[in-house]
Amino acid sequence: MASFIKASQKRVGDVHAYLRDKANGNSIRYRVESGKTHLIYIPYQETTEMDENGNPITVRSLKMINGNVHEWTTPDGRYHSTVCAKDTVIKSEDGTVINDGSCPFCERISDAWDIVNMRVAKEEQTCTLPAGSDQLKEHMDAAKRTFMNEMKCRKPSSYNYLLVVQFRTDGNKPLIDGTTGLPMYDLKVMKMTDKKLEQILSTVENSGDQLEGCELMFKYPVSDDIRVVGGRPSISVVFPNNRLTAKYPNLKQKIDADFNKFDFEGLDKQGFPEWAGMSTEQAKAVTDSLFSQWDAYQKELKVNPNAQYLEYITAAPDNNPSLSGAPAVPTLAAPTVAAPSVAAPTVATPEAPAAPAAPTLNASNISDLFGTPDGSIQI
């Protein structure tokens, strides 16, 4: 029998590489760093295709995947995410259905909005600020933002996962490998919203270049808040003559070889747990647990018109500024126990954008970074 140590050990060949990987969380996930400047190259492959006249043309393409991701926060304040499984059908080898094409998260979005609307109605009912006043409007806007940030489930957000090359630098100087004489680099996967991708693309195109093969500098501001760091990098395009891929002719060849070997398989174990996916059954268990009190309330309502939904009725103001970044919503009146108003004003329909246009960080624009508000982001 093989010994446990033989079976489980990982051989450490290069101690420097080993320690560096450890420090990076051994992850391919690209992470922003406070006060640092990152030098990034966008690798691509070239293929020859025929245009409509049958003439061969060279097409450059990136290595990138896209996923619609559901994000939610459990009552313990932890951030979670999973790729939307709508229309995904997966069967195990013996024919057991793992994913049946439905998405329990999508199916709960309207319940989540019902809860938001009910909380807004309740807040309006109990708030003692003068009707029609600016204070009331401000207060209600803040309350709505908080309630939306705390939504149990929301429309999936589109994220792009782009393979990039991050050069290792000492300050702004590239580190050179003594053996190959080439700049040292790591392959990283940059996660970003469509908006962020468009921003990068327009920066590159405005400089008269194209994204494929471009070298970019991401300068991050100094902040203890990783969301601030990731949200406001200054992005600039490196002049073609100054690019490392121009200065070191063999560099691109080496990168291309790594690029061709790379695939996105196993991404869930590389810092992107949302790609682990969930079976329909697992997802249903999660959403049922998130909505357990709501479901109990709905059930009770059928036999008792005075049924109450008490999940958010707490003695202390229910706000979570560390996560939502939204202003705290003061509880102006002691929560009175009342039957929920039937004529709840509708804040938004499930089709409406989940993101309020708030200047503060909220669950939506926190995600508009290279990272997400999960605790795994570390400098």
**Which of 30/161 has CB closer to Zn ion?**
161
Nearer to Zn ion, 33 or 114 (CB): 114
- In whole angstroms, the minimum distance from the beta carbon of 112 to Zn ion comes to 12
Verify binding: residue 84, Zn ion, rule CB under 5 A: yes
Q: Smallest distance, Å, CB 80 to Zn ion?
A: 14
Nearest by Cα to 355 from 366, 346, 364:
364
The stretch near Zn ion (CB under 5 A) out of 32-40, 106-114, 138-146, 225-233 is 106-114
- Which position among 32, 42, 69, 103 is part of the footprint of Zn ion (CB under 5 A)? 103
Q: Is 176 exposed, middle or buried (0-12, 13-18, 19+ CB in 10 A)?
A: middle
Determine, following the binding rule CB under 5 A, whether residue 105 of this chain makes contact with Zn ion.
yes
The least CB distance from residue 86 to Zn ion, in Å, is: 5
| 32 vs 84 by CB, closer to Zn ion | 84
Sign of the four-CA dihedral 91, 93, 95, 97: negative
Identify which of residues 82 and 166 has a Cβ nearer to Zn ion in the complex. Answer: 82
Q: Which of 36, 86, 254, 284 binds Zn ion (CB under 5 A)?
A: 86
Measured from the CB atom, the residue of 86 and 219 that comes closer to Zn ion is 86
Binding mask 115-154 for Zn ion (x = CB under 5 A): ----------------------------------------
Q: Give the span between the Cα atoms of 28 and 187, in whole angstroms.
A: 7
CA distance 204 to 216: 8
Name all contacts of 93-96 with Cβ < 8 Å and 24+ positions apart. none
Please report, for residues 201, 284, 315, the alpha-carbon distance to residue 205 in angstroms, rounded to integers and kept in the order given.
6, 44, 54
Stretch that binds Zn ion, among 85-93, 239-247, 316-324, 363-371 (CB under 5 A): 85-93
Q: How far is the CB of 57 from Zn ion (least distance, A)?
A: 38
Shortest spacing between CB 6 and Zn ion, in angstroms: 43
> Would you say 52 or 87 has its CB closer to Zn ion?
87
- The interface region with Zn ion, picked from 82-90, 123-131, 193-201, 351-359 by CB under 5 A, is 82-90
CB of 103 to Zn ion, least distance (A): 3
CA separation for the pair 104, 287 (Å, rounded): 7
| Residue 247 main-chain phi, psi, to 5 deg | -75, -30
Q: Which stretch binds Zn ion (CB under 5 A): 77-85, 177-185, 243-251, 357-365?
A: 77-85
Comparing CB distances to Zn ion, the nearer of 279 and 360 is 279
Measured from the CB atom, the residue of 158 and 331 that comes closer to Zn ion is 158
- Please report whether residue 36 would count as binding Zn ion according to CB under 5 A: no
Q: Which stretch in 81-89, 290-298, 324-332, 337-345 sits in contact with Zn ion by CB under 5 A?
A: 81-89
Cα–Cα distances (Å) from 161 to 62, 231, 255, 263, 269, in that order, read 10, 17, 18, 12, 14
Query: Nearest Cα to 40, choosing from 267, 232, 255?
Result: 255
In the complex, the smallest distance separating the C-beta of residue 147 from Zn ion, rounded to whole angstroms, is 21
Instruction: Report in angstroms how near the CB of residue 107 gets to Zn ion at its nearest.
Output: 8
50, 54, 56, 57: CA torsion to nearest 10: -60
Interface with Zn ion (CB under 5 A), residue total: 5
Among 32, 69, 106, 363, contact with Zn ion (rule: CB under 5 A): 106
Q: Are 309 and 121 in contact (CB under 8 A)?
A: no
Min dist CB 71 to Zn ion, Å, is 11
Supply angle C-alpha 132, 133, 135, rounded to 5.
135
Query: Which stretches of the chain bind Zn ion, using CB under 5 A?
Result: 84, 86, 103, 105-106
